[in-house]
Amino acid sequence: MTTRRIKIIGGGLAGPEAALQAAKRGCEVDLYEMRPTRSTEAHQTSDFAELVCSNSLKSESENSAPWLLKQEMRRAGSILLAEADATAVPAGHALAVDRVEFSKRVAERIAAEPRIRVHREEVTKLDEQAPDTVTILASGPLTSPALAAELQRLTGSDHLAFYDSISPIVDATTIDMSKVYFAARYDKGTADYINCPFTKEEYERFMEALTTAEAVESKDWEKFPVTGTPEKLQYFEGCLPIEETARRGRDTLRFGPMKPVGLTDPKTGRWPYAVVQLRQENLRADSYNLVGFQNHLKYGEQNRVLKLIPGLENATFLRYGQIHRNTYIHAPSLLTETLQLKAHPHIMIAGQLSGVEGYTESIASGMLAGIYAAAIANGVAPPTAPRLSANGSLTHYITHAETKKFQPANITFDLLPPLEEDLRKKIRDKKERHKIQCDRALAAWNEWLGSSL
């Protein structure tokens, strides 16, 4: 019988998933979200599960690492992932969603759950002396200064911070379709992406404009949330602003977000020199986001530079790129594998604040936190996710990473236990090795589900 209530702070992705998982297991849950009472620098609404950056939950290609993570989540009954599947928009091999419908459906699931009470207020205190409550802190990368200061008081360690960026969105009706084409890379899957092809001359002109464009001046919020000390911007390598990537070399973009390989232009029968891809933003297909084009440029500069992209010369941008602070704890020194604070086990950290990076990873973290919190509330030792699984490996990374080099992580095969050396030598094909890792992960995950949940 449940003896403790569960208090969840944060209405992004991890918080609602944790709340729904705990409620499904018979727990009484209080879910706190400070918006709209207090907003953040990046959110545009007060909706649950708002997708701030892109609308993609990454690859659905079989035997890829993101696919594996989602397969495990589906088998465990992830509620937010089910809503993502229900609101999917065409995106080739990726799972992308209509972000408005997705948030709406998540809100409906929360409202329909009688065990969840929603509180629209800012939480500024964490009570480590509350044995009758299990608290999950899932307040995300834009945790309010007051709550961040409280977490610092509780953990006794400094926050680490880096800066994350948001991609622009363009009105679909203003794209010059005579200059672009639909294609899937190497013609695999459906041709859901709009491709804007560059000649070498167009690429050089674009690069010159991009690398000399004026950046946004630092604002007061671009500081560490507790100390208020201005710092050099520390970008996450997996989500660099496009202008930062461009400054690393003239061809860096052509081997990164603007790579043309496998995208044959039907007009020429060849790959273009470079390409910008546009991904459908919603079910109506009336807007598209510029894949990988997060940036930190002034809006006027973005308007000038982005209109150098073939097909976007007369485009209307519904949203320009932005940058926002992303804060996370030093998980290797603070968290157990069940996402509990080592010094205060009745307080848990989930989502991006824990050091996972990405929408899917945040939902997965919330899913595990909800499962673990329900066990704790019922006086049972939490069932740790198996190391062989993608979920277990992601949690293992954030709680066991080398402390001096700890950075947030997306799910990759590098996080999973490697195959035996003799097997790696025997099997040269990387796809076959990945399939073996996925098969092992799913087998371990199924066994865990059968014995623990």
Residues 182 and 307 in one domain: yes
Residues 6+ apart with CB under 8 A from 92: 184, 185, 188, 189, 190, 191, 192, 193
Q: For residue 182, give its domain range.
A: 165-325
Go through 364-401 and write b for each residue having 16 or more CB atoms within 10 A of its CB, e for each that does not. Answer: bbbbbbbbbbbbbbeeeebbbbbebbbbbbbbbbbbeb
Rounded to the nearest 5°, which phi and psi values hold at 230? Answer: -60, 140
Q: Is 369 annotated as a binding residue?
A: no
pLDDT at 99: 93
Give the residue from 258, 291, 325 where a domain finishes.
Answer: 325
Return d(Cα 40, Cα 161) in angstroms, integer.
Answer: 16
CATH number at residue 302: 2.40.30.260
Scanning the structure block, which residue is given the tokens 């993608």?
390
pTM for the whole thing? 0.75
Scanning the structure block, which residue is given the tokens 């909706």?
47
What is the DSSP code (8-state) at residue 64? S
Compute mean pLDDT per 10 residues along the chain, 453 residues long, and list them.
80 96 96 78 72 89 97 98 97 93 96 97 87 92 83 71 75 96 89 96 97 79 44 61 92 96 96 96 88 92 97 95 78 95 95 93 98 95 95 97 80 93 88 96 97 74
Return d(Cα 344, Cα 361) in angstroms, integer.
Answer: 24
Return d(Cα 137, Cα 31) in angstroms, integer.
Answer: 10
pLDDT at 230: 42
CA 158 remoteness from chain centre: 23
Express each pLDDT in 189-216 by its tens digit: 788 999 999 999 999 999 999 999 998 8
pLDDT at 425: 85
Tokens matching residue 77: 């009954």
Q: Is 15 annotated as a binding residue?
A: yes
Residues 341 and 321 in one domain: no
Residues 232 and 348 in one domain: no
Residues 104 and 200 in one domain: no
Half-sphere CA count of 321, side-chain side, radius 13 A? 27
Residues 261 and 314 in one domain: yes
Residues 247 and 344 in one domain: no
CATH number at residue 12: 3.50.50.60
Scanning the structure block, which residue is given the tokens 């095969």?
413
Q: Is 262 annotated as a binding residue?
A: no
Closest CA to 131 of 382, 381, 377, 384: 377
Q: Is 10 annotated as a binding residue?
A: yes
Q: Is 11 annotated as a binding residue?
A: yes
Express each pLDDT in 242-263 by its tens digit: 999 999 999 999 999 999 999 9
Give the residue from 305, 325, 345 where a domain finishes.
Answer: 325
Q: Is 13 annotated as a binding residue?
A: yes
Residues 141 and 35 in one domain: yes
Closest CA to 283 of 11, 108, 110, 84: 84
Strand bridging mode 29-32 / 5-9: parallel
pLDDT at 39: 60
Give the residue from 325, 344, 369 where a domain finishes.
Answer: 325
pLDDT at 151: 87
Residues 320 and 351 in one domain: no
Residues 298 and 372 in one domain: no
pLDDT at 228: 43
Return d(Cα 271, Cα 197) in angstroms, integer.
Answer: 8
Residues 265 and 370 in one domain: no
pLDDT at 219: 55
What are the angstrom distances between the C-alpha of 256 and each of 123, 261, 291? 40, 11, 11
Number of domains into which the chain is organized: 2
Residues 301 and 169 in one domain: yes
Residues 12 and 102 in one domain: yes
